[in-house]
Chain A
Amino acid sequence: MERTETELIAAVLRGDAASFEPLVQKYSPRVFATARRYARRESEIEDIVQEVWLKAFQKLNGFRGEAPFEHWLMRLAVRTCYDFLRGHQRNRETPFSELSEPESDWLDHFVSQPETATENADAARQLIERILEQLSPAGRLIITLLEIEERSVKEIAKLTGWSVPLVKVRAFRARAEMRKLLAKMAKEKYL
Chain B
Amino acid sequence: MNLDQLQRKLLAAARAHPPSDRVPYAFEQRILARVRELSAVDAWTLWARNLWRAATPCVAVMVLLLAWFLLVPSSHPANTDWSQELENTVLAAADPEQPPTDVLR
- CB of A138 within 8 Å of the partner chain: no
List A contacts of B20 (CB < 8 A). Answer: 32-33, 36
> When chains A and B are docked, how far (Å) is the Cα of A54 from the Cα of B35?
7
Q: Which residues of B contact A67 (CB under 8 A)?
A: none
B17 contacts chain A at the CB level, 8 A cutoff? yes
Interface size class for chain B? 20 to 34
Which residues does chain A contribute within 8 Å of B36, judged by CB atoms?
17
CA A29 to CA B9, docked complex, whole Å: 28
- The contact of B6 among A18, A20, A25, A110, by CB within 8 Å, is A110
Q: Complex Cα distance A21/B29, Å?
A: 8
The verdict on A127 contacting chain B, using a C-beta distance below 8 Å, is yes
> What's the interface size class on A, roughly?
35 or more
Q: Is A28 an interface residue (CB 8 A)?
A: yes
A86–B60 CA distance with the chains assembled, in angstroms:
39
A33 contacts B3, CB within 8 Å?
Answer: no
Q: Does B95 contact A (CB under 8 A)?
A: no
Q: Which residues of B from 1 to 15 have beta carbons under 8 Å from A?
A: 1-3, 5-7, 9-15
Could you say which residues of chain B place their CB within 8 Å of the CB of A30? Answer: 21
| A17-B35, A50-B31, A54-B34 known; A182 vs B6 contact (CB < 8 Å) | yes
Q: Report Cα–Cα, A32/B23, bound state, in Å.
A: 7
Contact call A186/B1, Cβ cutoff below 8 A: yes
Name the distance in Å between A159's Cβ and chain B's nearest Cβ: 17
Q: Cβ of A1 < 8 Å from any Cβ of B?
A: no
A-side interface residues toward B, CB under 8 Å? 15, 17-18, 20-21, 24-25, 28-30, 32-33, 36-37, 42, 46, 49-50, 53-54, 57-58, 110-111, 114, 117, 119-121, 124-125, 127-129, 131-132, 143, 147-148, 150, 178-179, 182-183, 186, 190
Task: Show the binding face of B for A, using Cβ within 8 Å.
Answer: 1-3, 5-7, 9-24, 27-28, 30-32, 34-36, 38-39
